[in-house]
């Protein structure tokens, strides 16, 4: 790697992988161990913003480690340094606003696995950058595994060329039911009032329509949303022409509150979904969180999830355009 930046040097972490010549995650540590304070980090990022953004796109994941990042306010200052436009999270995960741009990550039970996904993959206005900050590392488990999305496409084309071609041609259709009220005992327990930022059903419908969703109100007050057609894979500018597996068929297919089919209603074969899930897991990369870690994801290039964890674990999140 060409380290033209004098403020950082390349570190290592357990679980790193080299994928198609790229180190994931790229670990950046202080060049001078005596200059690991927040002020020095903010100066380094401000003076090397373009270079740092290139590293995110090149390596898909960049981990800042060994700096004195102590709390949500520090994390927010790091995010503000880049001047990226904020984007409000829309989705089923229960979250709490902490400070300015900073939210909790999914507050569902730590004992459960959060399945791999691109953040807000179903919406045209999705984050380009996803940032995570480890305030309290878990004593055991709780990793945030991630997967190079293009590798999933490559392997699915190798194993299921006909199914992939059919899904590409027809597109995908998803449904998801948002509960009437929040239920933080569920991984997908965010109620529609919180999810869409209004207690007014008519305004909620308007906002859903603006996001490209059809809606159906259920007898218990829950809101069923329908999205489609959506693409199976997507090629994004600046990512070497790679076809990203930019969908959530495994995460939503046949679940309690969701479904995923082809856009014309054709069912996706169960064996295809099952094997896709296995491929995603086989391609996963993970490391152990340390206090003060700040992780930058290229959201269009990586799927990510969360391993089950012993408490306590506190990882905060910010999403930007």
Q: Which of 292, 285, 286 is nearest to 314 (CA)?
A: 292
Residue 1 lies in a domain: no
| pLDDT reported for residue 187 | 66
Q: Are residues 12 and 101 in the same domain?
A: yes
Structural domain span for residue 315: 8-110+119-139+287-320
Q: How far apart are CA 179 and CA 191, in angstroms?
A: 5
User: Is position 2 within any domain?
Assistant: no
Per-residue pLDDT tens digits of the chain, which is 321 residues long? 455 578 999 999 999 999 999 999 999 999 998 889 999 999 999 999 999 999 999 999 999 999 999 999 999 999 999 999 999 888 778 889 999 999 999 998 999 999 999 999 998 899 999 999 999 999 999 999 999 999 999 999 999 999 999 999 999 999 999 999 887 667 667 889 988 989 999 999 999 999 899 999 999 999 999 999 999 999 999 999 999 999 999 999 999 899 999 999 999 999 999 999 999 999 999 999 999 999 999 999 999 999 999 999 999 999 999
Task: Give the Cβ contact number of residue 20 at 10 Å.
Answer: 11
pLDDT (0 to 100) of residue 34? 86
pTM flag (> 0.85): yes
3-state secondary structure of 279: helix
Side by side, the strands of the sheet bearing 172-178 are 213-217, 223-230, 172-178, 258-262
- Res 4: pLDDT: 58
Q: Are residues 251 and 211 in the same domain?
A: yes
Name the domain count of the chain.
2
- Residue 307, domain CATH: 3.60.130.10
Q: Are residues 37 and 155 in the same domain?
A: no
């Amino acid at each position: 790697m060409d380290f033209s930046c004098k403020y950082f040097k390349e570190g290592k972490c357990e679980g790193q992988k080299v994928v198609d010549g790229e180190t994931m995650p790229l670990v950046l540590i202080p060049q001078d161990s005596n200059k690991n304070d927040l002020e020095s980090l903010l100066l380094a990022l401000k003076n090397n913003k373009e270079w740092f953004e290139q590293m995110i796109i090149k390596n898909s994941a960049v981990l800042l480690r060994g700096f004195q990042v102590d709390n949500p306010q520090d994390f927010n200052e790091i995010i503000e340094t880049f001047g990226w436009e904020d984007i409000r999270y829309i989705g089923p995960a229960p979250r709490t606003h902490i400070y300015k741009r900073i939210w909790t990550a999914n507050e569902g039970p730590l004992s459960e696995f959060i399945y791999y996904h691109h953040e807000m993959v179903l919406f045209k206005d999705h984050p380009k950058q996803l940032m995570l900050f480890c305030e309290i590392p878990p004593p055991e488990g709780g990793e945030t595994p991630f997967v190079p999305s293009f590798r999933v496409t490559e392997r699915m084309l190798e194993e299921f060329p006909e199914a992939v071609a059919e899904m590409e041609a027809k597109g995908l259709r998803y449904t998801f039911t948002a509960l009437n009220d929040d239920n933080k005992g569920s991984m997908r327990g965010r109620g529609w009032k919180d999810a869409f930022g209004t207690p007014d059903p008519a305004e909620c419908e308007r906002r859903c329509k603006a996001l490209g969703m059809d809606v159906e109100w259920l007898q218990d007050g829950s809101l069923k949303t329908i999205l489609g057609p959506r693409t199976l894979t997507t090629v994004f500018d600046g990512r070497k022409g790679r076809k990203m597996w930019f969908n959530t068929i495994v995460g939503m297919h046949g679940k309690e509150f969701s479904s995923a089919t082809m856009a014309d209603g054709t069912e996706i074969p169960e064996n295809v979904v099952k094997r896709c899930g296995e491929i995603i897991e086989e391609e996963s990369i993970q490391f152990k969180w340390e206090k003060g870690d700040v992780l930058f994801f290229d959201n269009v290039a990586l799927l990510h999830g969360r391993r089950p964890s012993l408490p306590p674990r506190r990882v905060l999140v910010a999403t930007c355009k």
